[in-house]
Structure 1
Amino acid sequence: MSNLKCVPKDSFINICRSADTGAVWITNFGRITKAQVKGKCRRIRKNTIGFRHRRHIRATRSHVKGVMTQENGIIQDKIGWQKKTYKFSCPNNSVIYSFDFRVSSVPNTRRAKTICQGYSPQLLVQKNNCFWKNSCRVSWNYPQVITTSADPRCIGQRTSLFTTKEHQCMPKDRIHDVCKKRDTKGRRGLLRSHKHYPWNYNAIPQNCTTRIKITHGGALFLHLHDIDLDSSHDALRVVHVRSSVTCPIPDSSLREGVWLQGGYVRVLFNVAYRSKRGRGFIMSYKNVKERVPNSPEDNNDKCPQYAKN
C-alpha cells in the first residue's frame, strides 16, 4: 500500500487512492498525525493526477485529461474533485440563445463501448439559467452524477467528462415572444415560446399567432432549434401562406431548416387548459434578398417542395 496518490481537498484533508488495489482513504492531518496514516501519502498539485482505477489497466484515456482540450469548436474537460469554472459571454446588447453541453461517463476499458451522456442537477440548472443572459458561468468542484438522460441505464452513473460546443448569441431587440408580437421585425431574428425558455412554460390556455414576412423577390430561411411540448394537448403549427394556398410545414423539415419564397409565414402556438407543459420552442429566421439557388419556380396554385439548407 505504499504506492498511493493523494489529492488535497482543502488545507487539512487529503483523498488518497492506492494504484495497486484501488482502495481509498480520507486523511485529515488536522485531527490525526501523519504517523497514523496508512502508507505514504504525498501532496501533489491539482490537475496533474491520473488515478488508475484497476490493476493492469492504463491510466485515464488520452481524450479524458485533467486539462482542457478544444478541437473544432468542441471543448472537453475532465470532471473530478478540482474546482473548474467556464465563462460564456456575448457582445454588448446580445444574449445567449443556443447553449448546450453534456456530462459523460466514459468506460475505463477499451472493450466497453457504452458512453452514457446526460445532466446532473447542478449543471442542468446552471445551463438553463445561462439562456437570455449576456454572460454566465458554469462550474463544479466535485464529481457529477447523471440524473437526466435519454438512456434510462445511464441514470446514477458517475461522470468523468464535460463536453460543450460553441454557444450562439442574438441581439436582444431581435428576440420575439410568439404570444406578445403579432409581426416580427428585422431581416433576422428569433421566435420563442416564452421568455423563460428552457424552463417549462405555464399551463395557461392561450392561442398565439405571429407573422414573419418574406422579402419580396427574395427568400426566408426558417430553422426550428428545439421543441418540447405536451403533444397530447399543446401544438405548434407553422404554415407558409401564399396568394391562393396555405401550406403546413412539418416539424421534421423545420428541424433541418427550410427555404421559403413568396408570401409570409404564420406561426401558431396553442396551450390547452390541462397542459402538462414542456420546455417550449425556439425558432430562428433570416430574410435574404437573393432567391434560393436551385429552387423550383414559384407556383401559387400548390404547395412548394421545401428546399433544405
Structure 2
Amino acid sequence: MKSFYPSWFFIPAVVMYVVFFAIPTFASFYFSLTRWSLFDSQFIGLGNFVQFFQDPQLWNGFIHTFEYGFATSAAKVVLGFALAVILTGPILARGYLRAIIFFPVLISTIGVGIMFKSLLDPFHGMVNAVLGFLHLPQPGWFTDPALALGTIAAVDIWKGVGIATLIFMAGIVAIPNEYFEAARMDGASSWAILRTITIPLSRPAMATVIILSLIGGLRSFDLIWATTGGGPGFTSDVIASVIYKQYQAGFYGLSTAGNVVLFVVVTAIMVPLSSFLNRKTVEL
C-alpha cells in the first residue's frame, strides 16, 4: 500500500498532460485530414497537405523560418555565454548589470514588438530622428524588404539573450572553484582557463540554451506579427505566419495541416539534436 500511495500524486499531472497536450495533438492530426468548420467536417485524407505544399509562399516561409531560427539561436548562444563569463567575473556593479540584461525577458513579446515598431518607425521613430540629427541614413527598419527580417531577429536577440545569459551563469557558477584555483596556481592564462575549463564544463548549459532558443526561433510568430505582420509583402513571413494567414482566410483544415507540418519539422530537428548534445555532454 505504501508503494502504491505515491502514484496518486501523478494523476493531476497525467490529467493535465492528456487534456492540454495529448488530446489537442491527436485532434490536430485528425482535423488536418478534414475540411472542417465550426459545424461540420469532411474527411479528405492528405488533400490539405498537398494544397499546403503547393502554396508558393510556403517555401519562402520555410527558408525564412530556418534563417531566423538558426541566426537568433546562434547569436543568443554566443552573446549569452560572453555576457555570462563577464557577469560571473569580478566587475563593478555586477548585480545591476545582471538586472539590466535580464529585464527584457520580463516584457511580453507583443509589448516588445509594439515598442520597437514605434522606436524604429521610419518617419516618427526616435532611432531615425537621432540618425537624421547626425546626418546619417534613415532606413525603413520594418518597411524595407532587405532589412525587415534581420531587424526582427535583432529585436528577438535583445529580448531573449537575458535568459540565455542566466542559464550560462548558472552553469558557470556550478563549476567547482577548485578547478580555477588549480589552473591559476599552474600559471594558466585567462584564455586558457576559459578554453580548458569554463567552456567544456558549461556544455550542459550550452545544450539547454541551444535547444530552447532554436525551438523558440523555429516557432516564432508573435514578434513578427506584432512588428510587420509578415511584410512588407511576404519578405518576413515564417511558417507560423503563413499558417495564421490561412486561418484568417477561413482555411481551417489547411491551417491545421500547417500546424502539423510545423510540429513534425521542429520535432525532426530537435530530437536528434537533443540526443547529439546530450551524448556530447555525457562523454565529457
Give me the TM-score of the superposition, normalised by structure 1: 0.22
Q: Using CA pairs below 8 Å that are at least 6 residues apart, which structure has the higher relative contact order?
A: 2
Bigger-Rg structure (1/2): 1
Structure showing the higher helix proportion among its residues? 2
Give me the TM-score of the superposition, normalised by structure 2: 0.23
